[in-house]
């Protein structure tokens, strides 16, 4: 049976939202789709619901207000991993397509709140996600610590996004100096420089790719992927906020042997927009303030978000005295978010066991 209707709901945000809702009963499951504001969402509640909820947060690709949330085979299996354990799953496509970091944090909380108000939650509440979703998972459990029992970020960047912006900026300015025209267009230009053009620039200085790949800590063939990703991060936030949130005016670059001196003399320097920098401070949500278990899952080789970057987050945890609430495990694979559903299932079981028993998972490979 399928019922379609309009229902007005008055949210705690003090404005009235109209939700277009669709309910479907399938094999005993309750499936609801609709929109909160301009953000499409989907909820799946299994027949044998344990009254718990797992919020899933997507990565930076796709989504947006026109997403119909149709599941491919991978997503169906992923959702089944959750519902087969008795949990409901809820996720949003968000009101912005692709990189929706600034929207995702609050729109995820709006969906969780909607679910709680409508269905009630008396079991455990977990948040998980891939890539950008991993970033949102850690930011969410820090900001809304009274709403969750644990988090399972996967292949994300755990320190606050201002740190990621600085890493991406440094990648771009050094690439522009060694491979590009050093004109700044890859950072401040309106147009996205294509992957084909990035590869063409690399091909003009092939003899330098070994040194540069070692600086980035990636394989030579992945340089273009790293630069393309970094460009999308910098320009995405710049377009959203109206300027650069981070600069490199006082950065001393190293790792290039005999080229270090000329690099630091001639690399382009950028001053952050102070208004944007102050605005961006609102998004610095990951500072190590944990109250619940977090199990972080990484791959052994991730060219765009290397596992080593998350060591930064451990310094925040140590400062806050929260290292005992953080554990990390890994998948022996190459690529960004190359984590199978079976590996996700093992990680989820490890987190749930930690929450229920208090036994912190050991650092180990998930097979």
> Which CATH code for domain 2-160+290-357?
3.40.50.1820
The residue ranges of the chain whose pLDDT is under 70 are 1-27, 280-285
Q: How far apart are CA 209 and CA 202, in angstroms?
A: 7
Q: How far apart are CA 44 and CA 305, in angstroms?
A: 30
Share above pLDDT 70 across residues of the chain, in percent, rounded to a whole number = 91
pLDDT in tens, 28-74: 899 999 999 999 999 999 999 999 999 999 998 888 898 889 889 99
Residue 210: the pLDDT is: 96
Q: State the alpha helices, DSSP H only, in the chain.
A: 73-83, 101-119, 132-143, 161-178, 185-188, 195-203, 209-216, 223-241, 260-266, 274-280, 311-320, 341-357
pLDDT in tens, 318-366: 999 999 999 999 999 999 999 999 999 999 999 999 999 999 999 999 9
Residue ranges of domains in the chain = 2-160+290-357, 161-281
Exposed, middle or buried, 245 (CB in 10 Å: 0-12/13-18/19+)? buried
Tokens 């420089």 belong to residue: 193
DSSP 249: T
Give the DSSP letter string of 21-77.
EEEEEETTEEEEEEEETTEEEEEEE-TT--S-EEEEE--SSS-STT------HHHHH
Q: How far apart are CA 130 and CA 366, in angstroms?
A: 16
Q: How far apart are CA 212 and CA 207, in angstroms?
A: 10
**Residue 28 forms beta bridges with which residues?**
none
Q: How far apart are CA 300 and CA 43, in angstroms?
A: 32
């Amino acid at each position: 049976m399928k019922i379609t209707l309009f229902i007005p709901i008055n949210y705690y945000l003090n404005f009235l939202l109209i939700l277009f809702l669709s309910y479907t009963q399938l094999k005993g499951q309750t499936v609801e789709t609709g929109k909160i504001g301009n953000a499409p969402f989907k909820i799946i509640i299994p027949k044998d619901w344990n009254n718990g909820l797992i919020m899933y947060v997507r990565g930076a690709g796709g989504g947006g207000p026109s997403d119909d949330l149709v599941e491919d085979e991978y997503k169906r299996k992923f959702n089944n991993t959750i519902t087969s354990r008795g949990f409901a799953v809820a996720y949003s496509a968000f009101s912005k397509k692709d990189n929706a970091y600034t929207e995702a944090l609050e729109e995820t909380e709006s969906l969780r709140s909607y679910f709680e108000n409508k269905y009630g939650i008396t079991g455990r509440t977990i948040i998980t996600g891939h890539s950008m979703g991993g970033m949102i998972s850690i930011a969410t459990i820090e900001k809304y610590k009274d709403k969750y029992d644990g988090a399972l970020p996967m292949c994300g960047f755990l320190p606050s996004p201002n740190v990621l912006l600085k890493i991406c900026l440094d990648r771009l300015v050094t690439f522009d100096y060694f491979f590009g025209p050093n004109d700044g267009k890859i950072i401040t230009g309106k147009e996205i420089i294509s992957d084909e053009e990035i590869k063409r620039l690399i091909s003009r200085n092939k003899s330098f790719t070994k040194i540069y790949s070692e600086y980035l800590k990636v394989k030579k063939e992945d340089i273009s992927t790293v630069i393309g990703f970094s460009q999308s991060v910098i320009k995405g936030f710049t377009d959203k906020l109206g300027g650069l949130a981070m600069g490199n005016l006082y950065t001393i670059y190293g790792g290039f042997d005999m080229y270090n001196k000329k690099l630091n003399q001639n690399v382009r320097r950028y001053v952050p927009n102070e208004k944007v920098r102050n605005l961006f401070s609102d998004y610095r949500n990951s500072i190590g303030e944990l109250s619940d278990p977090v199990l972080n899952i990484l791959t052994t080789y991730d060219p765009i978000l290397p596992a080593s970057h998350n060591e930064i987050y451990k310094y925040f945890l140590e400062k806050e005295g929260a290292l005992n609430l953080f554990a990390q495990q890994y998948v022996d694979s190459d690529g960004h978010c190359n984590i199978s559903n079976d590996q996700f299932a093992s990680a989820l079981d490890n987190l749930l066991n930690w929450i229920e028993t208090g036994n912190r998972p050991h650092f180990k490979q998930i097979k």
